[in-house]
Amino acid sequence: MGVRISSPVNTNMGSNSQIIAKFTIDHVLSDRIGLHRKVGEHRHPQCLTKNYSKIFKQPKKASIIFNVFNEAWSTLIRSVFSILHTAPLSLVEEIILIDDNSDFSFLGERLPEKINFSIPIRLIRLKERAGLIKGRNIGASLAKGEILVFLDCHIECNDGWLEPLVAQMVENPTSIAVPVIASIDRLTFEFSHDPFSFPQLGSFDKTLNFNWFSIPDEDRSQDRTESLRSPTMAGGLYAIDKNWFHHLGGYDDGMDIWGVENVEMSVRTWTCGGSIRIAPCSIIGHVFPEKSFYRRDPTRNLARFAEVWLDDYKSKLYRRTSFAIPDSFKNTSSLQKRKELRQNLKCRSFRWFLDEIFPQFIEPEDKIGQFGFLHSPNLEWCLAISAAGEIIWEQCKFQSYGNRPLEQLWELDSNGQLKSFGQNDKLNDTELKFFLKFELKLITTLPHVITVFQDPPLWTLPLLMCPSFM
């Protein structure tokens, strides 16, 4: 049901290509789609017969919180209308928009007059930039609902997305309920999700970057409505009991903008008595912009996470990252408060988390090995590992070191094992011989024994291994 809208964006903003560069999405197409549309049915058939009648008897209502910073007009308002069109309003207390001091003029001038919906919409304008982390804490402190639902402001929901999240809160108030995140293409706005696919689970790599992994076949349930235990969450979309959120300490206000907070909250939730579960019958589509409007350096956030929650693992993390932590940082009062929070909550160790919650994690050695890129002699092709864990060839991306993709970075550890640096994968002997076609000892004789503070070496592969010559 597409309704054309009159965009408040200035018509002389420039060409469509300039607008795409500004918003990183096709804003013109988004306007043409309208503020209202149905995305179709993307749930597994078993979800359609699931009975959620219990949650309506004494309903726990949700406060739905959006953080807004320089968001395209139509994606923002369509996100709000999508909530209203797909969620039972008896379960919605309010929608809270935290305007993080946006500087797009149409947001400041037009937003108040457009807020006239069927449930309370609260607009909170921040006088200075706070970032996602602090903004969500502000929203949580103002929320009237018993359940907090945090959403990004470029989403569209499948029918019935809210009920599974609320049902999980009713059943287990100390859990975090995470919807399945479908993809909305930033240029075509096509909503993509296979209802028969199994959701992926959240994880992280050796340097605590969030990623996904597939559910092992033996763990796949025949009941496709059953919630799934996940070590981590992506963090953009989830529901949590308000009292439990505050009991856990909310977001770490000492962190900046966004980044790492999702992994930190995941570890904190599990080790302090909670859980994270993906609700397969809750489907929310998300536009993944090409870049973020938030300028950020995750170094501080990663360091705070390490100092409070990682115990002995932090030394392994620091050896695999390019920053050093001054002693003055480790003794800040805000950091001490987070350490006291962990102590007061009697949280378990990070070792417990790895052993009991994330046993799939391949822990790096204490010793630093060699790091490098395996490429063709003409620097065109690089060996990489895909998101699905498959070893592939792809074109080399030799920009600055910081921009090189982790999936092309390999580690040769002190035991002579070649591993993907960016994911929890390693090559077995058969794969090694098939893909490299030469003995590992030829690599170990290279004179490059480097630290992470230098540019990694480039290990050249034989010509016959490269796609151009195969």
pLDDT for 211-224, tens place per residue?
Answer: 888 887 777 888 99
**What is residue 271's predicted lDDT score, i.e. its pLDDT?**
98
Residues contacting 319, CB < 8 A, separation 6+: 368, 452
Instruction: Answer for the pair 105, 136: CB distance below 8 angstroms, yes or no.
Output: no
Place of tokens 């050093």: 324
Reading phi first (left if > 0) and then psi (alpha if -120 to 50, else beta), residue 70 is in: left
**What is residue 330's predicted lDDT score, i.e. its pLDDT?**
65
Please state, in angstroms and rounded to a whole number, the distance separating the CA atoms of residues 288 and 301.
22
Q: What is the DSSP letter of 405?
A: -
The residue among 282, 210, 273 whose CA lies nearest residue 241 is: 273
Q: What is the DSSP letter of 232?
A: B
Query: What pTM did the predictor assign?
Result: 0.78
**What is residue 207's predicted lDDT score, i.e. its pLDDT?**
78
Place of tokens 């490059």: 448
Buried b (16+ CB within 10 A) or exposed e, 100-117: bbbebeebeebbeeeeee
| Alpha helix stretches (DSSP H) within 143-256 | 162-171, 242-247
Regions in the chain scoring below 50 on pLDDT: 1-14, 399-403, 424-470
| Predicted confidence (pLDDT) per residue in 172-204, tens digit | 999 999 999 999 988 888 999 999 999 999 998
Please state, in angstroms and rounded to a whole number, the distance separating the CA atoms of residues 62 and 58.
13
Listed by start position, the domains of the chain span 16-287, 299-357, 370-469
**What is residue 437's predicted lDDT score, i.e. its pLDDT?**
35
Q: What totals of helices (H) and strands (E) does the chain contain, helices first? A: 15, 18
**What is residue 405's predicted lDDT score, i.e. its pLDDT?**
60
CATH number of 299-357: 1.10.8.460
Instruction: Answer for the pair 63, 148: CB distance below 8 angstroms, yes or no.
Output: yes
- State whether CATH 3.90.550.10 applies to domain 16-287: yes
Instruction: Answer for the pair 278, 198: CB distance below 8 angstroms, yes or no.
Output: no
Same fold: 16-287 with 299-357: no
